[in-house]
Each structure stands twice: as structure tokens, then as C-alpha cells.
Amino acid sequence: MSRTRLLAVVVTFCYAVSGNADEQLRKDASDAMKRAATYYRTKVATNGGYVYYYALDLGQRWGEGEASATQIWVQPPGTPTVGMAYLKAFEATGDRFYLDAAKDAALALVYGQLQSGGWTNSIDFNPRGKVAKYRNGKGGGRNHSAFDDGITQAALQLLMRAVSQRGVSARLDRSGVEAADPEGELSRLRLEDREEDQELLGHVHAQR
């Protein structure tokens, strides 16, 4: 299933399960959305992240150009866009499967955050692939945070939404987000640990 089709499924079914349809339609929509999202999460994702398009047999993948098996795309409509679709599905259904899928996408973005604080258009999980200078020390080369085409902005939006959904409180303060926004135009988040958020927070703190 292509990214476009998945998002169409999510938008349609989120409407159907939101209370604007009869009970049987809501059940049918919820079941179909779960099947589609399960396939996308378990068969299509790469380390929790996504590109733009996939061949039907998943033998080829494309972002702005052909992507390798270890690449994901940050630039919309890549990983942040799919992560936000999962969050919308969670909000509509309350099913934590979608929240966990969104967390997977968020953690994929955390892996590829640059030492300069933001993101470039793609992330490569192969240390010998088309890597950039990641904050986790597993890359090298490019270290230019990109703001064109909403690249860094989209990544930050998903991270903040995912953290908010997991019940992590946020307040203005210095944090890893500040590196991506040295002029202070974006909200700077300090993540405060709560027991149920240790897994996500552990990965985020490790990137600081």
C-alpha cells in the first residue's frame, strides 16, 4: 500500500470511528484501519520510519529519488507525516497500537537528528550509507540542518506531539530543541520524566 493510500485510509476511517457513523460502520472502519496500519508498521516500515512510495512487492522504495533499504525520509510526506497519521488514529480510537507506531516513527527521527540540532531530508541506518553527522555518533559528513520544505519543522512537530500524547509535561527551557532553533522562535522543551515515558525519554535524552 502506498503512503498516499494509507493516509487516505486513516482520514476516512478516523471520520467513521469518531461518532459520525453508526456502530457497525465504526467497527468495520476500525477493523480495516487496524489491518492496514498493522501491515504498514510491520511490513513497510524501516526502523519505524518511512519513505514516500513503495512498489507493490516492496522491492523498490522512493523518497525524492530511489531510496535504499536502510533509508527513511524526513521531508514531508515522509516519516513525520505517517507518524502524525498514526497519532490521529490513536486520538480517534484510543488504541495504543497507533500510539506505539507513532513512537516508533519518533524514535526513528531521534536516531537521525544532526549534531547541528535539526534534520536533513533523509536518514540512513546503514553507517556506510548516505549518512549525515548524527548526534548519536553513528554518522558523518553533512551537518546542515534543513528548514526548507518543512524538514526540521515536521520532525519537531511529530516529536512534540508524540511526547505530549504519552503524558510528558513540557515547559519552556533549554533543551536539545534549542540547538535546532538558536533564535528562540520555536518553543524550547524540557522533557520531565514520568514512569510511563521512560522508554521514549531515554532515547531522547541520549541524543542531547
**The 61-62 sheet, strands edge to edge:** 53-54, 61-62, 66-67
Residue with more model confidence, 207 or 62: 62
Calculate the alpha carbon distances from 123 to 38, 115, 118, 127, 194 in Å.
Answer: 23, 13, 12, 10, 29
The answer to whether residue 16 scores a pLDDT higher than 90 is no
Beta carbons within 8 Å of 141's beta carbon, 6+ residues apart: 131, 132, 133
Distance of CA 10 to the CA centre of its chain: 15
> Residues of the chain with pLDDT > 90: what percent?
57
Q: Which residues are 158's β-sheet partners?
A: none
4 pLDDT higher than 80: no
Query: Which pLDDT does position 139 carry in this prediction?
Result: 86
| Residue range 132-147, pLDDT digits in tens | 999 999 888 889 999 9
Residue found by looking up cell 527551557 in the block: 173
Query: How far are the Cα atoms of 4, 28, 86, 98, 187 from residue 9, in angstroms, in the given order?
Result: 9, 12, 11, 14, 32
pLDDT over 80 (residue 12) = no
Give pLDDT tens digits for 84-120. 999 999 998 999 999 999 999 999 999 999 999 999 9
Confidence class for position 188, pLDDT limits 50, 70, 90: very low
Task: Reply yes or no on whether the pLDDT at 53 is more than 90.
Answer: yes
Average pLDDT value over all residues in the chain: 79
Q: Is the pLDDT of residue 178 over 50?
A: no
pLDDT mean over 172-184: 41
The Cα–Cα gap between 157 and 207 comes to 17
